[in-house]
Structure 1
Amino acid sequence: MSLRTLGSNNIFKGIFAKQGALTQPRQTILNFRKDNPQQLLTNILTRSDKEIGGYSTVNFDIDPKERCGHFHGELSLDLPKDNPQVTRSGYAMFRTRDQSQSWISGDKYWDWTEFSALVLRVKGDRRKYLVNIQANTPLVTDLFQHRLFLNHPGQWETVVIPLSDFVMTNWGVIQDGSELNKSEIKTIGIGLLDKQYGPYSLKIDWIKVMTGAEVAKYVDL
């Protein structure tokens, strides 16, 4: 998604704010082209509805030709045969693992206070993916989510999502009035639960957080 498709210029006042106070224009979360891809895999956790007896498959590995991360599998909405309490199934996701704790300072977080946008270089299909951010909140089931809008399925594209546009949910229910605590970010990932049977494939080149000025270098305004 280009910045143009995200909306009017008013939306980007927050993205381009506070430039003079920034110490770095971007921070890399994952970069499969520059970093050791096999080492990055050790920091990736996958989950699917198999945890509740479902039948979806999930994989996250390295595409040998394009040297990028590859999130792929098959989504199934079939309910577990031996668990009548489950009335809905069909999800798959990946995320970064929880960051290492320090015995001195306790939990470790990413501090994104200086940044305004999440930027992803991806190549996907026509499935409806969600970007998930987990911050330090009272409930571990809280997630800040945003649709991963792809304009050119089957092609590499740069997607920009203002951090202020992420919405807090808990078990899929929107929690009104909750803002992302950018100073205490725990994990980031992408999930699929679009209620459609069949294969899915999303390739990830890199994921970064950026200032507004840095975003302008990557995306045609």
Structure 2
Amino acid sequence: MSYGKAFTAALGRSLEVVRDGAASVMRLEVNPGTATKKPIHLFSIKSQKDLDGFATGSDKDIGGLSDVKLGVDEGHGRFFGTLSNQLPRNAPIQRTGYAGMRTRNRPTLFGAQTWDTSLHSYLALRVRNSLFATSPRPPAPPSPLSQIDASPGDRSSLNSGRSESFSSLTPQQRARAALGHGMDEPLGPKFFANIQTDGPVTSDLFQHRIWLDPAAGDEWQTIVIPFDRFLMLNTGTLADSQIKMMRQAVRTVGISCILEAPRPPGPDANAAPAEKSDVNGAPSALRGGGASITQAAEAAEAAPREGEDDWGRDGTIRPSDQPDASPLRGIKRGQSFRFDLGLMGAKAVGSVEEALELEW
């Protein structure tokens, strides 16, 4: 995007901020958004033009072999590619297998434009696992994920466990239920929902596992996740001190896919030392030997290109010359897995019932 187009877009968003603020004053609102609890549109992918609002990234950016694409297929988004844990011999990383996409930052003349989700309890995602028939079968979600708020016959809200049950769990149990920490799972693609807020620490990321319902197969399903079940990570590591998400200032929303679930938090005799990853939310599937992913990326990449976002690369669809190629000479032997997630969009909603009635 050229400087002129970027400035015009920022100016348009600035006018939206002024308009919404003026409307709030006219309605005598104490907080913006209190006049309505209608679903908040976070993003949707229906056309090629929609792709301009997203950034993508993978371990390929720092020397790995994973590949990610974001495209449009039959009127809906498609987040797909190949995750590989193969290691190029001279790469400044020790583990690979990560890809992600997220909405771009939306700068205005008054700072970043954000969403106020403080009156909405859930994040709703409309997705489909296009490769279900060839994907490793995931285990049943751990308690209390099986406690569904929706009707007994509806399996489309697998993530909507009751908040009161979740709050009664120990930190380790919360990490297991929300992220899959410590679960004995087969190696393969695992999806996570990621939220970044306009807080003072830019490396803070709130994350929750997208527990796809095996019963839905490769059909579309609505995933509903309570906002207060997201856990905070900092530089890819589960934060020791959890704080509430700044839901009145949600800056970006995205999805990541990794091969190995994060390790359990806290001391573990069988676990490797704590890992770190890039400051903008790559899960701990990536780490550098004695250096952070950020440092590794700085060593591997030249200066950012014009129009580049602060996360990932430029958000365009990257070519993949040989996505299913066998390991190259000089590469540590590993495994590769395809992932293909259909994606209609994301909304903030007030209830599970409301999410299940949404028109996408």
Instruction: Tell me the TM-score range normalised by the shorter chain.
Output: 0.7 to 0.9
In 1, the alpha carbon distance for the partners of 2:192 and 2:35 equals 29
Q: How does 1:150-165 map to 2 (within 5 A)?
A: 150-151=212-213, 152-165=216-229
Please identify which structure carries the higher helix content: 2
Deviation at residue 28 of structure 1 after TM alignment: 0.9
In 1, the alpha carbon distance for the partners of 2:350 and 2:96 equals 38
Partner residue in 1 for 2:78: 70
> For 2:128, which of 123, 145, 168 is the aligned residue?
123
Partner residue in 1 for 2:242: 177
Partner residue in 1 for 2:50: 40
RMSD across aligned positions (CA)? 1.8
> For 1:95, which of 102, 106, 111 is the aligned residue?
102
In 2, the alpha carbon distance for the partners of 1:217 and 1:142 equals 29
Q: Is the 8 A contact 1:145 1:169 kept in 2?
A: yes
Question: How many pairs does the alignment contain?
Answer: 190
Deviation at residue 82 of structure 1 after TM alignment: 2.0
Q: Deviations over 1:41-74 (max 9, x none)?
A: 00011100011100001000001x3x10000000
Deviation at residue 219 of structure 1 after TM alignment: 3.0
Name the SS for the 2:60 alignment partner.
helix
Partner residue in 1 for 2:40: 27
> For 2:257, which of 187, 192, 197 is the aligned residue?
192
Q: Which runs of 5+ in 1 are unaligned?
A: 1-20
Q: Is the 8 A contact 1:122 1:158 kept in 2?
A: yes
TM-score by length of 2: 0.50
Q: Is the 8 A contact 2:349 2:355 kept in 1?
A: no
Aligned amino acid, residue 216 of structure 1: E
Name the % identity. Answer: 33
Name the SS for the 1:183 alignment partner.
helix
Q: Is the 8 A contact 1:60 1:71 kept in 2?
A: yes
Q: Of the two, which has the highest radius of gyration? A: 2
Aligned amino acid, residue 100 of structure 1: P
Q: Is the 8 A contact 1:93 1:189 kept in 2?
A: yes
> For 2:116, which of 71, 95, 111 is the aligned residue?
111
Name the SS for the 1:144 alignment partner.
strand
Q: Is the 8 A contact 2:124 2:355 kept in 1?
A: no
Partner residue in 2 for 1:133: 195
Runs of 4+ in 1 over 6 A off after TM superposition: none
Distance 1:174 1:55, change over 3 A: same
Partner residue in 2 for 1:144: 206
TM-score by length of 1: 0.80
Q: Deviations over 1:79-100 (max 9, x none)?
A: 23223x4111110000000012
Deviation at residue 22 of structure 1 after TM alignment: 5.2
